[in-house]
Amino acid sequence: MSGQNSFYLKSDSIMITKSNTLVEACYDLSVAEHDLMTLAINKMHKQPTGTNKVTISAKEFATANKVTDNYAYKTLKDTAKTLAERKLKFPLYVDNNIQGNDKSQKLCVLKPNHKNFTILKVEYHWLQGISYQDQEGYILLHFSDPLAFLIEHTNQAYTKYDYIKTVNFKGFSSKRMYE
């Protein structure tokens, strides 16, 4: 855990890069869940491709959100209990101009620039699994495969903003509108 603790502890600016599909997706998270998922998605986006697990420490969460360590520990623990049940709904596009029989090779996060595509309505849990480690104070998030796919393809269309500017927003809706 020691090498992973410093991700959000280095500066007063945390630049978030989030897939536009994810920004526009339908979901209903608490403010704490949204903040945790935003930090985790951004951290995972900066990891090597093919990774679908990310660790967020209470210290990182506290520093990023300008809250006390005790509040961060409690928030991560409470969030671990509820986040695994939350669902994410978004569209994917099946580009029928791509040759081959394997539909998964034809999936796109961006709507193709032609009319030979179908829309795949996707509804998945955000996470395949979640763990909280009390003694060292971190949460391990194991993202669902569709969410990992969205994160891996963030470079196709994304929104970028400074997370610190959203820290004082009190409601989930205000955070979503800012994105």
- State the pLDDT confidence band at 119, using cuts at 50, 70 and 90: very high
Does 20 have pLDDT greater than 60? yes
pLDDT (tens digit per residue) in 141-176: 999 888 888 888 777 778 888 888 888 888 878 888
pLDDT score, position 54: 92
pLDDT score, position 103: 79
Does 114 have pLDDT greater than 90? yes
Which candidate, 102, 148, 158, places its Cα nearest to that of 127? 148
pLDDT (tens digit per residue) in 23-33: 888 788 888 88
Q: Which amino acid is at 46?
A: K
Does 179 have pLDDT greater than 70? yes
Burial 39-52 (b: 16+ CB within 10 A, else e): bbbbbbbeeeeeeb
Question: What is the average pLDDT across 8-27?
Answer: 78
pLDDT score, position 3: 42
How many CB atoms sit inside 10 A of residue 37's CB?
24
pLDDT score, position 9: 66
By the 8 A CB rule, do 141 and 41 touch?
Answer: no
Question: What is the average pLDDT across 8-19?
Answer: 76
pLDDT score, position 153: 76
Does 11 have pLDDT greater than 70? no
By the 8 A CB rule, do 37 and 54 touch?
Answer: no
pLDDT (tens digit per residue) in 39-93: 998 888 887 777 789 999 999 999 999 999 889 989 988 887 788 888 888 888 9
pLDDT score, position 94: 92
By the 8 A CB rule, do 69 and 9 touch?
Answer: no
pLDDT score, position 61: 93
Query: What is this structure's pTM?
Result: 0.80
